[in-house]
Each structure stands twice: as C-alpha cells, then as structure tokens.
Amino acid sequence: MFFGRKSFAEIESEAHAELDDAYAEMWTHIKTVSRPNYPSAPDRKRPAYMLLAKFTREPRGVKIGLEESSVSSNDPGIVIQACNLKYPVDRGDRFQRCATGDFYEVTNSNHDTVSGIIVDLVQLGLQE
C-alpha cells in the first residue's frame, strides 16, 4: 500500500482473482523439453501440476492467397494469473483442459499488464 491506497499491481491481482472465481477452470501445465529433430517430451525434472486459468478464443483475420479474401479463425488461448504458475510458460509446453481432456500446445506467451500471462495455444486433441 502506498499512502493508504492500493497499488495498481494489487488492484490488478484482485481483479484477476475475482475473474478466476467466476470464470476459471482447472488446467494441467505440462513442462516439456525439446531436442533438435525430435518431438517435445514431458520434462521429468519438473512434474505436471494443476492450476486455474480462463479459457479464451480470440478471433483473427487470415489472408488467403494473393487476393483480398479472408476468413475468420478462433484461436484458443488461456489467461493465467502469474502467481498460479510454478514454472515459466515456454513455447512447446502443453496444457490439458481438465473438464474435457483436450490437450493444447503453447505457441506464444505474453504478459497481460501486471499480474497475468496470456498464452496462445494450438489444439492437439485427445491423448491417452
């Protein structure tokens, strides 16, 4: 607190917590290791763990060919409160949506203002 007022980071963290209470669901974060010319594999040194995250589908325009025609695509993503992460999110990491069992792979991650992480995903499908 600064002069009896909350800082922007504290307010942002409280806002994320309230949104988590209303909209978040359980996900499993699976850290991976990758080697050249091999698919990524789960990292045995950093075990998978469960966390709360908010699922999103961001619409974006995609240009097709040389013409001006385009289609709309809904890219999956999640928003995670930074304090819920045990490990940093890296490209190639996997997330499993516990409610459906769907697997996703991280394509990109960025900070959302102060206390959140926006993670762009690509769906891998069900795995057993």
- The predicted model scores a pTM of 0.75
8 Å CB contact between 82 and 115:
yes
Place 18 in a pLDDT band, splitting at 50, 70 and 90. Answer: confident
Of 61-65, 83-87, 102-106, 107-111, the least confident: 61-65
Query: Is the per-residue pLDDT at 94 higher than 90?
Result: yes
Q: What is the DSSP secondary-structure string of 96-127? A: EETTT--EEEEEEEEEETTTEEEEEEEEEE--
**What is the H or E stretch that residue 56 is in?**
strand 49-63
Confidence of residue 73 (pLDDT cuts 50, 70, 90): low
Which residue ranges form the domains of the chain, and what is each CATH number?
Answer: 8-125 (2.40.10)
Q: Environment class of residue 74 by beta-carbon count within 10 Å: exposed (0-12), middle (13-18) or buried (19+)?
A: exposed
For 14, phi and psi rounded to 5 degrees? -65, -40
21-55 pLDDT per residue, tens:
777 899 999 999 988 888 888 999 999 999 999 88
